Structure 1
Amino acid sequence: MVMIETSGGLGLGGPELQDVLHAAALAPSLHNSQPWRFRVTADGIELHADPERRPRVADPSGREMRLACGAALFNLRLALTGHGVRPLVTVLPNPLEPDLVAVVRRGGGRPPTPAERRLLAAMPHRHTNRRPFTADPVANPARHALRRAALDEGAWLDLVTDPATRAALSHLARRAHERQIADPGFVAELERWTARERGHADGVPLSAAGPVPWPNAAWVMRDFSAGSGPDHGYEADPLIAVLSVHGDGLHEEIRAGQAMQRVLLTATAHGLATSFLSQLVEVPDVREHMRRLISGARPPQVVLRIGHGWPVPGTPRRPLSELLVDADDPTREDPS
C-alpha cells in the first residue's frame, strides 16, 4: 500500500491526498494508456505527462496525451474541491520542463457547489462505452448542459444535427478510419493496447471492447476486440459532438482536455453514455476538413458519440505506486 505524506500546502492528510490522486487517475486516455504521473510536494501536487506511455503512431504530436492530462487535471481540481480546497492551478509553469503539465496549490477553502457534487458523484461511473446505444434521443436539457459544461472551461461543443453535415462527417470518419487501418504500424499499436486479457493495469480489456463493428455502419467504429467480440450493429443516429477551443498549442490542448472531462462527467450525471470518434482528429487532413465543416476557425480537439446505453465495466487503472514521481528526486527542479 502506498503511503503519501501530508501536504501542508494543501492542508490535506495522506488518505485525502490518496483519494485525490486516485480520482485524477480515473480520467480517460487514448487506448487507456494513462500517460500521467504525479508528484506531491510541500506546496501542492504536480501533474506530469508520461511520454513513454503515448501511443506514438496514433498520437505522433502528443496532442491526445495532453488532452488526457488535461482530463486528469480537471479530476484533480474537482477532487480537491470535494475536500474543501479551492485549487489554484498553474498550467505549464516551467518552459524548461515541458512534461510538467500543471502545478496545483491551495487557493483558499470553499465547499463544493451542488453542481460540483453531482460531477464528483459521476466520476467513478464515467466509462467509455464502446457498445451500441439505444435509439432514444438525447433530451434538450441534457444537450444544453453539455454545451454549458464546455463553455465553463473556455471551450465550445458543437452538436452536429444538420443532416448534410452529419453525412459529410460520417464520410470523413470512414476516410480517416480506412487510412489508419491501412497502416501496419497503426494496426500493430492498436493490437498492443486492446483486447487484453485479465491481469493488465492499462489498455482496453476484452470486457470493455464492445462488438466487432459492421463495415457498412453509418458511423465507423474501431474494433477493440481484435475480431473476437460479438458481431453486432451500432445505432445509426447517435448524437455527435465536436469539442474545440481557440486554437492549437500546448495550453489550448490542456484546456480542451479539462473541458472534455467536464463534458463527459456532465453526460454521466445525466445518465448518458459516451465514446470517441478519435480517427477524425488523428488524421491531419481529415481534421482540417472537419474544422472547415464544423467550426470554421477553431480546430476540433475531440469528437464524441453520445446517447443512451447500458452500463459497461470500466477499464483497469495502474496502481498509485506507478504514478508517483519521487518528491526527493535530486534531478528535479523546483518549478516555482
Structure 2
Amino acid sequence: MHYGQDEVEVAWDPARALPVSDPTGRDLRLGLGAFVETCLIVCASAGFSIGFRPDPGPRRVGFLHRTAEPYETAFTVEDVRQRGSNRGAYEPGRLPEELVERLGVHRVGCADVADLLYVADLHQFGDDAVSGELREWLRLSPRHPRYLQDGLTDRALALSRAKAIGLAVALSWRPLRKLAAVGGKGLLDYDGDVFVLAGSVEDQVEHGRALMRLWLTLAGLGYTTHPLSQVIDCADTRRILAVRLGVDDPETLLHIARVGRPKAPAAPSARLRT
C-alpha cells in the first residue's frame, strides 16, 4: 500500500508474488480483492467513511479513498478476526442446500474431486520451477530463518514432524516428489464438500471481494475452508472439473476449496506487517 494525501494505492510488491505458481496473477488479484473488502469492513466497523475505486495499473489494482458515508456491510472487525483457513482434518458433513444457493457457488462432493486433486498434485510436484517456488514459500521447520515472518508453516499444514521432514526431503529431490502427491491422497477421503467460485476473468478483484464475504459468511456459521488451487492451476484437471460442473469456459473457474467444520483450530502462519 502506498499512502497519499487523500487516498491509498492498493498495490503489490513483485518480490512477494508467485509468478511461477500463479502465472496469470489470478490468485494475486483474488487475494488483493479480499484484502480490499477486509479494509472496507474494518474501516466501516471503526466508523471511517472509506470506499474503493478500481484503477488497474502497473502493480496496482486501485485506490482506497474517502467517501461521504461508511461502506455498507453486515460484517464487523470481529468477523474478520474470527475468519481463517484450516488445512487440518474436517468433520464429515455436507453444506445445507439453502446455504449453497445463498453463496452462489458450485458444490461438489469431496469424493468427486479426489482423483483430480491427485493428478493436479502430480503435475504441481513434477514441475521443477513450481516445486522450487513452493520450497521457498513453505516453512517446514521452526528452524527456518523466516518461520516467524511469513510463509506456510508445518503447523498451519497440520503436519507431524515426520511428515514435515518427509515433504521437505521429497521437494528437494525430484525422484521423490511423486511421494508428496501420494501423501495427499487421503485429504478428501471423507463425506464432505468442495466449493468452486466461477466468474469473469476480467473482474477477478471484485470476485476476490465477493470471496471474502463468502468466507466471512461461512466463518460465522462455524465453517472454514482449505484452498485447493492446484486443481484449477493444472489445465487438464481444470478442463475436467469444468465439464463435471457444466461450466462452458474452464478459464472462469477462479477458486476451489474444501469446506466444512474443522476437527481442531488451525495454527496461524506469520505474516509481515510492513
With the shorter chain as reference, the TM-score category is 0.7 to 0.9
Cα drift, residue 86 of structure 1: 4.2
**Correspondence for 2:39:** 76
Q: Are 2:50 and 2:70, in contact at CA under 8 Å, matched by a contact in 1?
A: no
**Correspondence for 2:173:** none
**Correspondence for 2:142:** 197
Identity %: 23
226 and 75 in structure 1: CA distance in 2 versus 1, 3 angstrom threshold: farther
Q: Are 1:127 and 1:313, in contact at CA under 8 Å, matched by a contact in 2?
A: no
1:261 matched to 2:212? The reply is yes
**Correspondence for 1:109:** 69
Query: Structure 2, unaligned stretches of length 5 or more?
Result: 169-182
* Paired AA for residue 200 in structure 1: L
Cα drift, residue 197 of structure 1: 2.3
SS where residue 102 of structure 1 aligns? Answer: strand
1:311 matched to 2:265? The reply is yes
Cα drift, residue 100 of structure 1: 1.6
**Correspondence for 1:98:** 58
Q: Tell me the distance in 2 between the aligned counterparts of 1:227 and 1:209.
A: 13
Give the alignment partner of residue 52 of structure 2, picking from 77, 89, 92.
89
257 and 110 in structure 1: CA distance in 2 versus 1, 3 angstrom threshold: closer
Q: Are 1:54 and 1:65, in contact at CA under 8 Å, matched by a contact in 2?
A: yes
Cα drift, residue 203 of structure 1: 0.3
75 and 280 in structure 1: CA distance in 2 versus 1, 3 angstrom threshold: same
SS where residue 56 of structure 1 aligns? Answer: coil
TM-score for both structures, normalised by structure 2? 0.80
174 and 228 in structure 1: CA distance in 2 versus 1, 3 angstrom threshold: closer
Cα drift, residue 208 of structure 1: 0.8
**1:1-336 aligned within 5 A:** 38-93=1-56, 97-110=57-70, 115-117=74-76, 120-140=77-97, 142-145=99-102, 147=103, 156-161=104-109, 167=112, 169-194=113-138, 195-197=140-142, 199-211=147-159, 225=164, 227=166, 233-234=186-187, 235-245=189-199, 247-249=200-202, 252-297=203-248, 299-309=252-262, 310-319=264-273, 322=274
* Paired AA for residue 152 in structure 2: V
* Paired AA for residue 156 in structure 2: A
Q: Tell me the distance in 2 between the aligned counterparts of 1:136 and 1:238.
A: 5
Give the structure, 1 or 2, with the largest relative contact order (CA under 8 Å, sep 6 or more). Answer: 2
Q: Are 1:200 and 1:316, in contact at CA under 8 Å, matched by a contact in 2?
A: yes
Q: Tell me the distance in 2 between the aligned counterparts of 1:111 and 1:186.
A: 39
Summarize deviations over 1:194-229 as a string: whole Å, max 9, x none: 1252643110122212237xxxxxxxxxx8x35369
Q: Tell me the distance in 2 between the aligned counterparts of 1:308 and 1:315.
A: 20
Q: Tell me the distance in 1 between the aligned counterparts of 2:22 and 2:141.
A: 20
211 and 205 in structure 1: CA distance in 2 versus 1, 3 angstrom threshold: closer
Summarize deviations over 1:149-184 as a string: whole Å, max 9, x none: xxxxxxx411125x9xx62x3322222211111112
Summarize deviations over 1:70-98 as a string: whole Å, max 9, x none: 111111111121122343321125xxx33
Aligned CA RMSD, in angstroms, stands at 2.6
Q: Tell me the distance in 2 between the aligned counterparts of 1:99 and 1:170.
A: 35
Summarize deviations over 1:8-65 as a string: whole Å, max 9, x none: xxxxxxxxxxxxxxxxxxxxxxxxxxxxxx1222212221022221122211222211
Q: How many residues align?
A: 249
SS where residue 108 of structure 1 aligns? Answer: coil
TM-score for both structures, normalised by structure 1? 0.66
Q: Which has the higher helix share?
A: 2
SS where residue 45 of structure 1 aligns? Answer: strand
